[in-house]
Structure 1
Amino acid sequence: MIESPARHEHPYQPSTRSSGGWAVVAFAGLVGIVLAATSQAANATVTAPAEPLPSVSPRLSAATQAELMSDVLPASPPITLTAPVTDGAGALDDSARQDVQAAFDRLTDESDLRMFVVYIESFDGTEPDDWANASANQSGLGTEDLLLAIATVDREFGLSADSNVPLTAAELEAISETVTAAVEDEQWAAAATEAAETVRRSTAASTSPLLVAGIAVGGVLVLAALGFVLWRFVAPRLLPRLARLRAGTPASGGPTSDELDGLSLGELDERAAAALVGIDDALKTCTQELGFARAELGADATKDFELILARATGDVRQAFAIRQELDADDAGAGPDDPARRTRLSRVIALCESAADTLDARTRAFDDLRRLQQRAPELLSDVEAREPEVARRVATTRATLEQLARRYPESTLAMVAGNPEQAELLLANAQEAVGAGRSALETGQKAVAVAHARGAQNALGQAVVLLDAVDAIAAHLEEAAGRLDKSIASLTQDVTAARAVEGDFRITLARTAAQASLKHVEVTREGGDPLAGLQRIAAAEASLDAALAGTRDATEVAARASALLRDTLRRVDEQLRQTADFVATRRGAVGSTARTRLAEATRLADTARTPHPADPAAALGMAQRSSALVQEAARLAREDADAVVETDPEAVVEENGPVTGGMLLGGILLDPSLVRSRRRASTARIGGGFGGGGFGGGRPDALKKLGTVRTWWPTATR
Structure 2
Amino acid sequence: MRITRMLAAVLGLVMLGLLLASPTAARPPFRLPGYITDDADALTSSGRIAVESAVQRLYADRHIRLWVVYVDTFSEDSAVSWAQSTRRDSDLGDFDALLAVATVDRAYAFLVPATVPNISSRQVDDLRRNQIEPALRRGDWSGAAVAAANGLDSPPGSPGWAPLLITLGVVAAGLLALLLIMRYRRRQRRAAELAAARRVDPTDPDALAGVPLETLDDLSRQMVVDVDNALRTSANELALAVEEFGEQRTEPFTRAVNNAKSALAQAFTIRQQLDDAIPETPAQRRELLTRVVVSAARADRELESQRRAFERLRDLVIHAPSRLDGLTRQFVELTARIGPAEQRLAELHQEFDAAALTSVADNVATAKTRLAFAEQNIGRARELAAHPVSGQQAGLVDAFRAAESALGQARALLDAVDHASTDIHHASATLPSTIADIQTAIEQATAQLRQAQSVGVPHAGELAAARDAALEALDTARASGSTDPLGAFTRLTRASADLERLLATVAEERAAIDRLNRALDQALFTAQSRVRAVSDYIDTRRGSIGPEARTRLAEANQQLQAAHDKKASNPAEAITHATSASALAAQAQSLANADVQSTERAYTARYGSSDAGAMIGGIIIGDILGAELRGGFGGGWSPTSYGGSSGDDGGGLLGGGGRF
Q: What is the TM-score normalised by the length of structure 2?
A: 0.26
Larger Rg: 2
- Structure having the larger proportion of residues in helix: 2
TM-score (normalised: structure 1): 0.24
